[in-house]
Structure 1
Amino acid sequence: MHSTTFLIEFGAIILGLGLLGRFAGRFQFSPIPLYLLAGLAFGQGGLLPLDTSEEFVAIGAEIGVILLLLMLGLEYTASDLVSNLKTQYPAGLMDAALNALPGAVMALLLGWGPVAAVVLAGVTWVSSSGVIAKVIGDLGRLGNRETPVILSILVLEDLSMAVYLPIVTALLAGTGLAAGGVTLAIALGVAGLVLLLAVRFGRHVSRFVSSDDPEKLLLVVLGLTLLVAGLAQELQVSAAVGAFLVGIALSGEVAEGAHNLLAPLRDLFAAVFFVFFGLHTDPSSIPPVLLPALALAGVTALTKVATGYWAAQRAGISVKGRWRAGGTLVARGEFSIVIAGLAVTSGIEPSLGPLATAYVLILVVLGPLTARYTEPVALRLSGGLRRPAPVAHAPAGEPVGDQKDAADQKDAADDQDPVGHP
């Protein structure tokens, strides 16, 4: 009877997620908010709480986090990360300063204490790589000149998680300063060692994992990832960081083949992860934190726009591209939920989970809209505030009339040129 109930519950969850995903795809928006809402509906205080399948869903959620980070690591090579650190670190520092600070301040204003402040800072800091990548593709901006700037910021955020997550894990575990320092030293040492091995011996690692048989490649990569993630967690380093480093160590055809094989598994277990987070959030706990969530979403939407604008300006992108870069970075998603999930599991602050849920729901819906409309709205507002100078008094050398129109058209065309064009 127990197994029968489990099959019915888990089958209904998977079927429901598939239908929600199809619904989201029909209207071209991220399914993440629907998965979170489904978890709220069937979790604590929901319409129909689950019973027998919750433990299996918890395991599936943990695998979902590991696969999310593995797939993220497969997108980058060690040389990409090193190059981004050298050239884009000022944008990464600006991103961290502008977007982590509001979360930390909000937690302190709510009286949640310094540990919760560090956690909420991470929730508001990191943009959603998955949602943003999909939005860029849907809007046809893969070849735009601002796109490499956006991707560089996302890479730096992802790499920063290799340092941030162990710190949060140590803080949530309640370890002292000395133990936390040891944990961080281990995390940095492991990350540095993996990057060194990936740069110098990446081909050998990939050759060891490589197989012409998709079944064997899938088993070896998945088994290696789970093993490394487990060992990382045993060393008090986040399992997600271990998975991310495995992804970085693989490159070339192996990384591409593993990505294709693991993508369906990633999508399945990632959906289960979002449902699991919703299951552990009581819907009745969201209304009391809705106003702080709205305020935090409004502030950090503006700070992300400012981050993208500044980074694109620094890279020599014209005004239109700067606004597009800023608007595209607004969405929050998987990483914010991963960070909040650590806090919910530790039980440091009961309201942190509901606030993070509401915050992500707001920005994962708002993000695609700001990506599409920030540029035209900003240009319309700035154009309305500027008083055009009379043509007769235009300074020498300033384009006027048809010349000005032609210059504007050329500027717009430059923004749309694929990367690498003169």
Structure 2
Amino acid sequence: MHSALFLIEFGAIILGLGLLGRVAGRLKFSPIPLYLLAGLAFGEGGLLPLPASEEFVAIGAEIGVILLLLMLGLEYTASDLVSNLKTQYPAGLVDFTLNALPGALAALLMGWGPVAAVVLAGVTWISSSGVIAKVMGDLGRLGNRETPVILSVLVLEDLAMAVYLPIVTALLAGVGLAAGSATLAIALGVAGAVLFVALRYGRLISRFVSSDDPEKLLLVVLGLTLLVAGIAQQLQVSAAVGAFLVGIALSGEVAEGTHTLLSPLRDLFAAVFFVFFGLHTDPASIPPVLLPALALAVVTALTKIATGYWAARRAGVGVKGRWRAGGTLVARGEFSIVIAGLAVTAGIEPALGPLATAYVLLLVVIGPLTARYTEPVALWISRRRRPDEPVPSTPTAPSASSRPPEAVTDQDRAGHA
């Protein structure tokens, strides 16, 4: 009886996600807010609890996070990461300062304490690579001059996750300063070792993993990823970081083949992850934090626009491209939920989960709108202030970037996660 009930519940969840994905596709926006709303509707305090499938959904959600980070790592080569670190690190520092600090200050003002401040800083800091990639593809901006700037900011944020997640994991576990420092040292050492090995021996690793049989390739890569993620979690480094590093170590045809094979699994389990987060958030807990979430969304939308504008200006992009870059970076999504999910599991602050849910729901909807309308609105305001001055134009000729447009198109699939 329990088995039949589990199949009914889990089948209904998967079918519902598929239908919601279709609705989002027709409306041309990310399905993430619909997945979150579905979780809210059927979780704690929702319309219909799903107790029989809860444990399996929890495991599926954890696999979803691992696959999200693995696929993200597959998008980058070690040389791409090193190049971006060398040339674009000032943009990363500005991004951190403008977007992480508002979250930290908001947590402290609400009296949540320093650990919650570090967590909320991450929630407001990291943009959604998947949503942004989808938006750029939908708007036909993959060849624009500002696109390499946007990608560089996203790459630096993804790299920062390899340092940030171990810190958060150690803080949430309540370990002392010495243990936390050891955890961070291990994480940095592993990340550095993986980058070194990937640069020097990436082809050998890929050749070892490679197989002409899709079944064998899938089993080897998935097994290796789960094994490394488990070891990383045992060392309190974070399973997500372990998966990200596995993705970086693979390159060439292996990375492309793995991306093709794992994309459907990533989409399935990532959707389950967003539903799982919603299931563990009581809808009644959202209205009390809606105003703080809205205020934080407005502030950090403006700071992301400022970040993109500054980074594009530094790269020599014209005024229109600067505004487009800023507006495109506004969306938050999968990483914000991953970070908040860690805090919810640790139980450090009951209101943090609902606040993060409301915040992501707001910005995952507002983000595509700012990407489309920030430039015309900014230029309209500029004309109103200086009606006699011509507005500079920005050529949209394709430019070379450290990542080819094909990589963005691949990552576009993450928008359906």
- Identify the TM-score tier after normalising by the shorter chain: over 0.9
CA–CA separation in structure 2 for the residues paired with 1:198 and 1:380: 48
Larger radius of gyration: 1
* Corresponding letter in the other structure for 2:99: N
SS of 1:290's equivalent? helix
The Cα offsets for residues 195-216 of structure 1, whole Å up to 9 and x where unpaired, read as 0000000001000100011111
Deviation per residue, 1:310-350 (Å, 9 max, x gap): 00000000000000000000000000000000000000000
Tell me what 1:215 maps to. Answer: 215
Q: Is 1:252–2:252 an aligned residue pair?
A: yes
CA distance in 2, matches of 1:387, 1:304: 27
SS in 2 for 1:296: helix
User: What's the % identity of the aligned pairs?
Assistant: 85
The residue aligned with 2:181 is 181
User: In the alignment, is residue 55 of structure 1 matched against residue 55 of structure 2?
Assistant: yes
Q: Does residue 161 of structure 1 match 2:150?
A: no
**1:71 maps to amino acid:** M
State how far apart, in whole Å, the 2-side matches of 1:127 and 1:51 are: 33
Match of 2:292 in 1: 292
Aligned twin of 1:35: 35
- Alignment partner of 1:144 is 2:158: no
Higher relative contact order (CA 8 A, sep 6+): 2
Equivalences for 1:297-308 in 2 at 5 Å? 297-308=297-308
Superposed displacement of residue 388, structure 1: 1.2
Between the two proteins, the alignment pairs up a number of residues equal to: 401
1:420 Cα deviation from its structure 2 partner: 4.1
Task: After superposition, give the CA deviation of every residue in 1:342-379 in whole Å (9 maximum; x if it has no partner).
Answer: 00000000000000000000000000000000000000
Structure 1 ranges of 4+ moved more than 4 A: none
5 Å-filtered alignment, 1:334-349, equals 334-349=334-349
| Partner of residue 277, structure 2 | 277
What is the aligned partner in structure 1 of residue 398 from structure 2? 418
Please report how far the alpha carbon of residue 51 of structure 1 lies from its aligned counterpart in structure 2 after TM superposition: 1.1
Structure 1: distance between partners of 2:41 and 2:201 = 48
User: Residues 285-310 of structure 1: CA distance to partner in whole angstroms, max 9, x if unpaired?
Assistant: 00000000000000000000000000
Tell me which residue corresponds to 1:10.
Answer: 10
Matched residue SS, 1:193: helix
Task: Tell me the equivalent position of 2:379.
Answer: 379
Amino acid at match of 2:397: D
Gapped regions of structure 1 (runs ≥ 5): 390-403
In the alignment, the residues of structure 2 paired with residue 387 and residue 325 of structure 1 have an alpha-carbon distance, to the nearest angstrom, of: 24
Alpha-carbon distance in 2 for matches of 1:236, 1:104? 23
Q: How far 1:387 moved relative to its partner?
A: 3.9
Residues of 2 paired with 1:286 and 1:387: CA distance? 44
Name stretches of at least 5 consecutive residues in structure 2 with no aligned partner. Answer: 402-417
Listed as ranges, the matches of 1:380-395 within 5 Å are 380-388=380-388
Alignment partners' CA distance in 1, 2:181 and 2:400: 44
Which amino acid counterpart does residue 153 of structure 1 have in structure 2?
V
CA separation in 2, counterparts of 1:335 and 1:27?
A: 23
Corresponding residue for residue 401 of structure 1 = none
Q: Distance in 1 between matches of 2:283 and 2:388?
A: 52
Offset from partner CA, 1:166-217 (integer Å, 9 cap, x none):
0000000000000000000000000000000000000010001000111111
Once the two structures are superposed, residues 240-267 of structure 1 have per-residue CA deviations (whole angstroms, 9 ceiling, x without a partner) of 0000000000000000000010000000
TM-score, normalised with respect to structure 2: 0.95
| SS class of match (1:358) | helix
- Equivalent-residue separation in structure 2 for 1:236 and 1:103 (angstroms): 24
TM-score normalised by structure 1 residue count: 0.94
For 1:398, the equivalent position in structure 2 comes to none
